Structures are given as C-alpha cells and as structure tokens.
C-alpha cells in the first residue's frame, strides 16, 4: 500500500498542472449585472465507472487513476457500482482520503433495481463530496418506482447545500437501461417533479449515464421531451463525446432546472485525459456553478 500511496501522490501533484478535461467550452452569455456581490465556484462531475466491483478494485494502477480523476471535483456522482457485498465504495473512499488533502465524504444508495424484473441489473450510486464546501440536508433516497416501473435502475436523489452561500439543491443520479433509454429519459420528468415536491426545492439537477445518443437515443428528439423544454438546461451539449469508443456519442448528461440554470456559468468539460478502457468506457463529464456568497 505504501508503494501505491507514493504512486498516487505523484500523479496528484502532476494533475494539479492540468485542466480537469481538455474539452471545455463557454457557451452561455453571462450578462454583467450592476449589482456587485462576491461569488464562489464549485465543480460537479458525473462518472460511469464501468463495472466498479472487486476485480477493478484489486487493480492498483486503475485505482490510482480513479483517485486522480475523482479528486479533481468538489462533488462527483458515480454510477455502475457492482459489488454485491457493498465493500468497494468504502474501500475506494478510504484510498481516496489516504491520498488527497481533501477528506471526502460519501452518500451511498441502496442497490437500485428493486423491482423483480430489474434485479439482474442491480447497481449502486455514490455521491462523493468535499465537506469543507458541501453540507448534506438529506442523505438521499432511491426514487419510488414501484407504481410505474419506469426505470431499470431507479434514480438516487440527495439534498445538498453549498456552505456559506445562498444555494441549496437536489442532486440526482441515474444510469438508464440502454435499450429503454428513450422511455427512461422521458420518464425523468416525473423524477424532477417528485424531487421538487418531496424536498421543497425548485433547484434540481439529475446527472448520469443517460445513454442519450447514437443507437440508444436520437439526440434531436430532446426538444420534444418535457425535460427538453425551456424550463430545463442540458449543460453537456450534443457535440460532446463522452465515451472511449470510436463513435462520437453524448451518452452522459447533466440536466438542470430552477435557479441552477442561472448558477451554471457556462463552463463544462469532458475529462478525456485517459484512454484505457480498464478505467472505464466512459469519460467523466463536469460543470461549474457560480454561486453568490451569503
């Protein structure tokens, strides 16, 4: 473990000199207001870590890379945790905190896929966050999908607050079933509406592997969705390539509503700084929020 710790530490020192991802674009016009106030920025990421289970956790090189990647962000929502014993998330959190100055904390969902016809594809979601910047209002819950059974893996939603600022918001994370991506993405309007009512907060963001492109979903149909209306902002645009395959597909998305649309300062990225599929077949996507200091 000492050898791995040294390896990770060197990688983190090097990573301080590079951007979180080399695909970055500012595409929203932020008009300067006459009102002056102090703001702070936070980074939020989403990462499908392909089949994140015991086999991957036993690979020291891969785990070192994951520590380097995750430690770039203030909040990161992780999908595809596949450890039936539910040990890997805690092992990774310990490794992360042993090799970074930030002492991250974690919100971990129950195993999603609770309906009988979904139990063969159960996964967990995790939200890792910097507690120096983020406080937790509610530890989170899986969306109750028992009535409509709209999702193979129910979304996980938590209520967060950015310390010393005016912002509380709901962060949701999902991994859709590829073959049912169109139906599940369409059904996310119910999750947004439920979250607004349950948490009594209009500011909701749902991130994750939407499978929202290529053979699974026609991205030109976004405009026809209820979550494709002007009330929602798709912060990762259609031109982004979020997977390591040769095809250019925007599978991974971050969709915002409420006041979060104004907090989004237009900066987004795809962290395509690795090319090994042993880490994942997806690249992390991330955005930056600009928040008024209270």
CA dihedral 202, 282, 85, 144 (to 10 degrees): 30
110 as an active site residue: the answer is: no
CA distance 145 to 113: 9
Buried b (16+ CB within 10 A) or exposed e, 83-121: beeeebbeebbebbbebbebebeebbbebbbbeeebeee
Give the number of other CB atoms < 10 A from CB of residue 197.
9
What is the three-class DSSP state of 28? coil
Point out the catalytic residue in the list 159, 175, 219, 282. 175
94 as an active site residue: the answer is: no
Residue whose pair of structure tokens reads 């031109």 in the numeric block: 239
Phi-psi region of 113 (alpha: psi -120 to 50; beta: other; left: phi over 0): left
Instruction: Yes or no: say if 69 and 47 are a contact pair by the CB < 8 Å rule.
Output: yes
Instruction: Yes or no: say if 46 and 77 are a contact pair by the CB < 8 Å rule.
Output: yes
Q: What is the DSSP letter of 185?
A: H
Give the number of other CB atoms < 10 A from CB of residue 69.
24
CA distance 206 to 170: 8
Point out the catalytic residue in the list 123, 184, 219, 288. 123
Instruction: Yes or no: say if 270 and 242 are a contact pair by the CB < 8 Å rule.
Output: yes
Q: What is the DSSP letter of 112?
A: B
Which residues, in sequence order, are CB contacts of 219 under 8 Å at separation 6+? Answer: 212, 213, 238, 250
Catalytic residues: 123, 175
């Amino acid at each position: 473990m000492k050898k791995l710790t040294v390896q990770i530490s060197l990688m983190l020192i090097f990573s301080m000199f590079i951007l979180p991802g080399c695909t970055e674009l500012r595409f929203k016009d932020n008009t300067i207001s006459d009102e002056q106030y102090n703001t702070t920025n936070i980074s939020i990421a989403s990462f499908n870590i392909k089949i994140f289970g015991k086999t991957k956790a036993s690979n020291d090189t891969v785990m070192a890379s994951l520590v380097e990647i995750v430690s770039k962000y203030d909040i990161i929502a992780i999908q595809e945790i596949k450890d039936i014993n539910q040990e890997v998330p805690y092992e990774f959190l310990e490794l992360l905190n042993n090799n970074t100055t930030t002492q991250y904390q974690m919100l971990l969902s129950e195993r999603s896929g609770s309906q009988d016809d979904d139990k063969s594809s159960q996964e967990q979601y995790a939200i890792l966050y910097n507690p120096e910047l983020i406080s937790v209002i509610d530890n989170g819950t899986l969306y109750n999908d028992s009535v409509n059974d709209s999702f193979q893996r129910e979304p996980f939603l938590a209520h967060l607050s950015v310390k010393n600022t005016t912002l509380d918001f709901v962060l949701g994370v999902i991994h859709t079933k590829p073959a049912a991506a169109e139906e599940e993405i369409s059904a996310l309007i119910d999750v947004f509406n439920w979250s607004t009512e349950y948490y009594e907060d209009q500011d909701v963001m749902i991130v994750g592997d939407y499978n929202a492109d290529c053979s699974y979903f026609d991205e030109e149909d976004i405009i026809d969705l209820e979550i494709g209306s002007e009330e929602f902002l798709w912060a990762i645009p259609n031109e982004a390539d979020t997977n390591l395959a040769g095809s250019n597909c925007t599978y991974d998305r971050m969709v915002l509503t409420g006041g979060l649309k104004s907090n989004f300062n237009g900066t987004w990225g795809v962290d395509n700084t690795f090319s090994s599929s042993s880490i994942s077949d997806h690249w992390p996507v991330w955005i930056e929020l600009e928040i008024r200091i209270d």
